[in-house]
Amino acid sequence: MQPIKQLTETLARLANTEHFLFSLSDLTAITPELSPAAFKALVGRAVKAGVLRRVCRGLYLYPRVEYPAGLLLYYAAARLRAQEFNYISLESVLSDVGVISQIPMSWVTIMSSGRSNIIDCGNWGHIEFIHTKKVLKQVEEHIHYDSRCRMWRASVALALRDMALTRRSTDLIDMELTREFV
C-alpha cells in the first residue's frame, strides 16, 4: 500500500472528536518503515493534499473530524508540553472572567515548568509559555482542572500573582472587578 494511502486510511480510523491532533512521533508510528527523508516527504504531501494541516512545528491537525476550533490553542499547548507542569494563567484567565478591558485574540498564556517560548500556530494564533519554578504542590489550592481546555486553570488570585511575578503590565486590569474574585 502506498504510504500516503496508508496514512490517510489510518488517520480516518483513529481520529475522532477527542483525538484530532497528531505529533510527528504519532505519525511516524503509522509508517515506521519509512526513512526520515521519506517520512518528511510523506508529511509534506499529506499537508499539500489536505489530509493534515500543520498547527505548529511538530504538531498536525486532522481536519476531517469536528473539533472545537476556539479551544485548539489550549489542546495544542497540552500536547506540546505534555511532559511539563502547565496551567492557564495571566491574561488568558483574567480575560475569561472579564477583568481585562481588552480581550487578547488568538493568544493564550500558559505558565509552564518548561522554558519560556512563544509558539506561532499560524491562523489559529499564538501560545505563550511563561516559565515558572512553581510545582503543583505550591499552587494546588489555586488551580482546577478545566476539562473543556484539557488543562489546569489558575484562579483569578493566582493569575494576578503571576502577573506581578512575571512583571507583566496590569494597566488593562479593572482592579475593582478583581475584588469579587479574590
CATH number at residue 52: 1.10.10.10
Asked if 139 and 106 touch (Cβ cutoff 8 Å), the reply is no
The pLDDT of residue 182 is above 70: no
Confidence band for 179, pLDDT divided at 50, 70 and 90: confident
Shared-domain flag, residues 158 and 79: yes
Q: How many domains does the chain have?
A: 2
Same-domain status, 111 and 86: yes
User: Structure pTM?
Assistant: 0.91
Q: How far apart are CA 167 and CA 156, in angstroms?
A: 16
Residues 54 and 88 in one domain: no
Sequence-ordered list of residues with C-beta below 8 angstroms from that of 7, at least 6 positions apart, any chain? 27, 30, 31, 42, 46, 51
What residues have CB less than 8 Å from 36, skipping those under 6 apart? Answer: none
> What residue numbers bound the domain in which 20 lies?
3-61
For the stretch 95-109, pLDDT in tens is 988 888 776 789 999
Task: Tell whether 43 and 123 lie within a shared domain.
Answer: no
Alpha carbon distance 111, 139 (integer Å): 12
DSSP tag of 97: T
